[in-house]
Structure 1
């Protein structure tokens, strides 16, 4: 699955994205999930829940899909 994730702020964290996309149910699960799952940010593995995601970034979550970070500005 490929999906655009629109943000209204300059950035969002990886943990926030996982919660917003219902990959995890609570923000507290992000640390555990990222320890157990290899998430790729811009084609590099990243396990930091506080990783800042900016418009133009891509996040690949195994068995879930590919997410494209986009800005809502300009709509």
Structure 2
């Protein structure tokens, strides 16, 4: 069970703290807004896991599921 806990913690770090750091380092996010590195990563990872061919509309629905209200143009 400890292995599962370690894996879960690592994945959570990648989809939150690490994603925010990478977004800042690469200038994906230049200032703090609703869209952070973590929300970008979570939207794309969860959206594409659900449907590898997800449209922008479908990805905005995924974003809404994690609490982010964004338009398809905001993702484009």
Same fold (TM over 0.5): no
**TM-score relative to the length of structure 2:** 0.30
The structure with more helix, counted as a fraction of residues = 2
Structure having the higher strand fraction is 1
Greater relative CO, 1 or 2 (CA 8 Å, sep 6+): 1
Q: Which has the larger radius of gyration?
A: 2
> What TM-score results when the alignment is normalised by the length of structure 1?
0.30
